[in-house]
Amino acid sequence: MKNNSTEANHFMEVLTPKEIVSELDKYIIGQDQAKRSVAIALRNRWRRQQVPKELRDEIAPKNIIMMGPTGVGKTEIARRLARLANSPFLKVEATKFTEVGYVGRDVESMVRDLTELAVNMSKKGEHEKVKPKARDLAEERLLDILLPKRSEETHEEQDGEKERVLEVVKTEKAEASSTREKLRRMLRTGKLDERYVELEVTNSNVPMVEIFSSAGLEEMEFNVKEIFGGMFPSKKKKRRVKIPEAAEIIFQEESQRLIDMDKVIENAVRITEQNGIIFLDELDKVAGSDSSYGPDVSREGVQRDLLPIVEGSTVTTKYGMVKTDHILFIAAGAFNVSKPSDLLPELQGRFPIRVELDSLSMEDFIRILTEPRNALITQYMALLSTEGIELIFQEDAVNEIARMASQVNERTENIGARRLHTVMEKLLDEISFDAPDMTTTTVTINKEYVQEKLAEILEDENLSRYIL
């Protein structure tokens, strides 16, 4: 198992918790306690792989509940963590699920979706490994099309003629080989790019099948399609394409042939079980119950169905049985109405780490606008540079944007850093619209410009509620 997990755990081996936090700091401002918790949880996965085998399966993942208002970085922390770990990552909303037997999504579907993501990741990895060989095979097939092989009919009726016939065949082979190498050089240098060739491509006509099913039967549609796909043979049609496109089509076909899907699926199931991360958002919406009588299929019912998945169970997928014992669950919610103690006690026990995320201040907004690698201001500067416009933000303008966003959050709904997106869009609306026709190449945004564009809306609380 240790050797099998080497690739998936590569980042966890080289990154200590401090280094994980440092990587998260490049994209997420503040929330130090949440970063520490997820860094420890990620490192613990690597640690579990190093312990003796008899103890390894006994160590449960340290699932996390993040509590905090919307827009403070809960989802972003989980998503960046998954990228660091090179793990399959799935974000789902708890409110999408209902209790088994009612119309709605079955909680087991998130494990099936995670497995599907892992299969795609594993297939992509195998595709990279076979790429050089697939390129070589594609080139040979393309040369076969450009220079068809001659049928070597060597019917020697008399022993005396055998030597003469073989000599002729050898000469023809040498000439063909010389021509083939010449074509190969022309193909590699692009001299044949404008030439057309005729290819036979597979055209699979699978009937359109749509299944309207209740919870727990999401996979039926896929299985029916697979059955019909096997019943109806794939048809081939001829296409006339240029050589570069033909090379790409053949390359994809050869890649598919070289990939061992059994190996891909085996690896995908393994990384799902050992490295999968499920981010369960809006958990607070299924906590507690407002109804005093009758079943509440979208609250306690969902919690009861979630419990065995989080505790560790086996889920049937189209790729086989997948165990959830070591999948890391990161739950999140605002918990402004309900609280974690409103969850089922058994479910609470499966989320031993509780982290409270802080609301964002004006100073945080200033840092969010300028510091991260994907900072909002950097994004808008890059977007407008494609139109030949250099966008310059003065420091007082950045401070004013942050102040206004913070003020709107206080006066209306607090949507955290997402408010910056709406403020920036409103601020740069005119420039974005006129950019292709502008004659000036430099636009400077200062405090006065920000106030001019946004002051009116800020003054009218009702207007700011709907626009910002």
19, 160, 262 from 234: Cα distances, Å: 51, 50, 22
Determine the distance from the C-alpha atom of residue 58 to the mean position of all C-alpha atoms in its chain, rounded to a whole number. Answer: 30
Beta partners for residue 329, in sequence order: 278
d(CA 457, CA 455): 5
Tell whether 74 and 190 lie within a shared domain: no
- Let me know whether 14 and 91 are in one domain: yes
Query: Taking Cα atoms as reference points, which of 9, 21, 16 lies closest to residue 77?
Result: 21
The reply to whether 3 falls in a domain is: no
Tell me whether residue 396 is in a domain. yes
Q: Dmax over Cα atoms in the chain, in whole Å? A: 107
Which range marks the domain in which residue 105 is found? 10-119+266-356
* CA-to-CA separations, 105 to 170, 305, 309, 331, 405, in angstroms, rounded: 68, 11, 14, 18, 37
Task: Please tell me the distance from the alpha carbon of residue 45 to that of residue 61, in angstroms, as a whole number.
Answer: 7
Q: Report if residue 326 sits inside a domain.
A: yes
370, burial (CB in 10 Å: exposed 0-12, middle 13-18, buried 19+): middle
Q: For residue 3, what pLDDT is reported?
A: 45
- With respect to residue 328, please indicate whether it lies within any of the assigned structural domains: yes
**Same domain as 274, residue 255:** no
Which of 300, 326, 356 is the last residue before a domain boundary?
A: 356
93 and 213: one domain? Answer: no
Residue 178 sits in the same domain as residue 207: yes
Kindly state whether residues 388 and 345 are assigned to the same domain: no
Residue 154 lies in a domain: no
Same domain, residue pair 142 and 256? yes
Same-domain status, 432 and 340: no
**Sign of the CA dihedral with 183 first, then 188, 193, and 197 last:** positive
In the listed set 356, 380, 396, which residue is the last one of a domain according to the structure?
356
Integer Cα distance of 397 and 257 in angstroms: 57
Residue 206 falls within a domain, yes or no?
Answer: yes
Do residues 205 and 297 both lie within one domain? Answer: no
Residue at a domain's end among 204, 233, 264: 264
Q: Which residue has the tokens 């009726």?
A: 157
Domain containing residue 328: CATH number: 3.40.50.300
Which single residue is written with the structure tokens 């990228």? 83
Is residue 186 a part of any domain in this protein? yes
Residue 80 within a domain: yes
Q: Which residues of 173-207 are buried (b: 16+ CB within 10 A; e: fewer)?
A: eeeeeeebeebbeebeeeebeeeebebeeeeeeee
| Residues 141 and 247 both lie in one domain | yes
Number of domains in the chain: 3
Same domain, 54 and 176: no
Q: What is the pLDDT of residue 334?
A: 85
Per-residue pLDDT tens digits of the chain, which is 468 residues long: 444 444 444 444 568 899 999 999 999 998 999 999 999 988 888 888 889 988 888 888 889 999 988 888 898 898 898 888 888 999 888 888 876 656 567 888 999 999 999 999 999 989 899 999 999 988 888 888 887 765 544 444 444 444 444 444 455 556 567 888 888 888 888 888 888 888 877 765 545 544 444 444 545 555 555 555 555 556 677 888 888 888 888 888 899 889 999 999 999 999 999 989 999 988 888 886 554 444 455 577 888 889 999 999 999 999 999 999 999 999 998 887 788 888 888 888 899 999 999 889 999 999 999 999 889 999 999 999 999 999 999 999 999 999 999 988 888 888 889 889 989 999 999 999 999 988 888 999 999 999 988 877 666 655 555 565
Same domain? For 74 and 164 the reply is no
As a whole number of angstroms, the distance between CA 311 and CA 303 comes to 12
